[in-house]
Structure 1
Amino acid sequence: MDLQLSGRVAVVTGASKGIGLAVARTLAEEGAHVVAASRTAPDAPDLKVTHVAVDLMDPQAPERVVARAVEEFGGVDILVNNAGGPPPGTTLPRVGFMTPDDADWRAMFEFNLFALVRTVRAAVPVMLERGGGAIVNVSSTMSRQPSALNVDYGAAKAAVTALGKSLSEEYGPRGIRVNTVSPGPVLTDWWTKDGGAAEVIAGMAGSDKDSVISQVAPEMMRLTTGRLVHPQEIADAVALLVSPRSGSTTGAEFVVDGGQLKEM
């Protein structure tokens, strides 16, 4: 299926690895001009994108990224706000409301919400000049699944999901579609790295990292598929949502979670 993305200009944040890298690669393969924003270059030497080295915790970073897209390709048609998760230097999961202090809460919202807000603020005027565009914000099932784990992260992602609805109402009539993709647990560096989520959970469960990834986590999260989600499965959903083929889809939340959320 032709997604009609050839020649369109896409900005993807958090594009160095995991979901962001899969999204950047997929959009590039579909013919889009991709501007990849991340602190480090994408871990893919063959990937044909324009990388902008930025720390999105810097309030000025989003403007620099959008300005680079305008300089290189004349504008922005697509924005994928993927950057998020644990702020630099933070290890998740962490248990309990009392665990994160004020500084932890501020960092979590700065990285997961305010960086996204600033990136949208920078991109929207450029999109409007081109007659519209498509924005996808990457949230999380934790925005809708209350838990004593990662309370601050869940709250920040709930705000991301709510923001997407508001943006779609304001800018949909002006040609900018805004949708949300909410992944469940995705097999990324967050889980697999040394000291990552799998090792933290292994310490809690008296298990080992490989068993957590293959069995403990899927069972704990009641994943119908019995496995963690692959980054490409998120990227495929994002690519469809930013495509003109989804021209009547706005204000929607697409959950890609292996069957984690059971509620109606």
Structure 2
Amino acid sequence: MTAPTRLRAADAAVVVGGSTGIGRGVADAWAARGIETHVFSRSRPAGPGADRLVWHRLDFRDADAAKEALRSGMPDRLGLVCYSAVYFTAKREPFLEADETDWLDQFDVNVHGLASTLRTTLPLLRATAPGLFLHISSEVVYNAGPNRAGYAASKAAAGSLVQSVSQETDPREVRFVQALPAGMVDTPGIRARRPQDFDYSGYMAPAAFAPLAAELARTRGAAEQGEALVVHPDGSWSSVGDGTPVSQSRPLATSPR
């Protein structure tokens, strides 16, 4: 068994899409361990703990500017990377009714942004071997579902991209882990799609990802290399191989015959 590798104090962390949601949960967990944590996102992190994060503005819908932001904003020594940037439409709708701009934006952020981040960070992670790359995945990779074609297709492509790059990479240099929530997560993006009086009591909190993030910082994924992990509301996690996550798709309404 590979021995755990403790994060060296000089090695920094990067969270792409870390101003809110799951990415923020990861960023806060890493910063709380005293790790210099850089967040690349469209909006500036706010609220408790934001002062511990180094923010860089980035929007993958402007590909050239995004690549430059990644290139110029990277810390000198990089040990941990999390890709949590995500784009989904304002509402679920059938494929033929989906706006083409929304379709392209989903791929620009969910797939092409991930690819740009991998290209930028992998050489830096190799330099502090073993580096860790954490990708925030989704149950839709395993379940698909109606009225979610763009999101399902782009997240499935992203998951396969990480799997492929992982198989190309010596785990002594960089380890790859994918993680996804067991249920819906209470995030600003989700709240923008719900009515004002919606009850979020059954939703997960982004902080549920903090225990996994802390463990990955401690070991750099020594035991989780190549795994896809389902994170549960209590902060525990399990392998996707132990059970497919529950689908969050809503079945289509059927007309009475």
TM-score normalized by the length of structure 2: 0.80
Structure 2 counterpart of 1:99: 97
Q: 1:19 to 1:105 in 2, by over 3 A?
A: same
After TM superposition, list the pairs within 5 Å mapping 1:115-134 onto structure 2. Answer: 115-134=113-132
CA drift of 1:43 comes to: 0.9
Q: Does 1:248 align with 2:247?
A: no
CA distance in structure 1 between the partners assigned to 2:206 and 2:119 by the alignment: 27
CA distance in structure 2 between the partners assigned to 1:144 and 1:248 by the alignment: 23
CA distance in structure 1 between the partners assigned to 2:24 and 2:73 by the alignment: 19
CA drift of 1:122 comes to: 0.5
Q: 1:36 to 1:151 in 2, by over 3 A?
A: same
Structure 2 counterpart of 1:37: 40
Of residues 54, 68, 73, the one that matches 2:73 is 68
What does the per-residue CA deviation read over 1:39-68, in whole Å, with 9 as the maximum and x for residues that have no partner? 221013643121111213232324533532
What does the per-residue CA deviation read over 1:103-124, in whole Å, with 9 as the maximum and x for residues that have no partner? 3221111111110110111001
Judge conservation of contact 1:5–1:27 (CA < 8 Å) in 2: no
CA drift of 1:6 comes to: 5.7
Structure 2 counterpart of 1:18: 21
CA drift of 1:257 comes to: 5.3
Judge conservation of contact 1:10–1:35 (CA < 8 Å) in 2: yes
Q: What amino acid is aligned across from residue 131 of structure 2 in structure 1?
A: G
CA distance in structure 2 between the partners assigned to 1:145 and 1:32 by the alignment: 35
CA drift of 1:150 comes to: 1.7
Structure 1 counterpart of 2:179: 181
Of residues 157, 161, 164, the one that matches 1:163 is 161
CA distance in structure 1 between the partners assigned to 2:214 and 2:110 by the alignment: 21
What does the per-residue CA deviation read over 1:172-220, in whole Å, with 9 as the maximum and x for residues that have no partner? 345100111112310111222xxx2322xxxxxxxx7324x34xxxxxx
After TM superposition, list the pairs within 5 Å mapping 1:53-64 onto structure 2. Answer: 53-60=57-64, 61-64=66-69
Q: What amino acid is aligned across from residue 198 of structure 2 in structure 1?
A: D
Of residues 57, 80, 83, the one that matches 1:81 is 83
| Aligned length, in residue pairs | 231
Greater per-residue helix proportion:
1
Judge conservation of contact 1:96–1:148 (CA < 8 Å) in 2: yes
Structure 1 counterpart of 2:198: 210
Judge conservation of contact 2:14–2:78 (CA < 8 Å) in 1: yes
Secondary structure of the residue aligned to 1:209 is coil
Judge conservation of contact 1:164–1:251 (CA < 8 Å) in 2: no
Q: What amino acid is aligned across from residue 230 of structure 1 in structure 2?
A: A
CA drift of 1:134 comes to: 0.3
Q: Does 1:9 align with 2:12?
A: yes
Secondary structure of the residue aligned to 2:30 is helix
Structure 2 counterpart of 1:197: 193
Q: What amino acid is aligned across from residue 49 of structure 1 in structure 2?
A: L
Structure ranking higher on relative contact order (CA contacts 8 Å, 6+ apart) = 2
Gaps of 5+ in 1: 200-207, 215-226
CA distance in structure 2 between the partners assigned to 1:150 and 1:240 by the alignment: 32
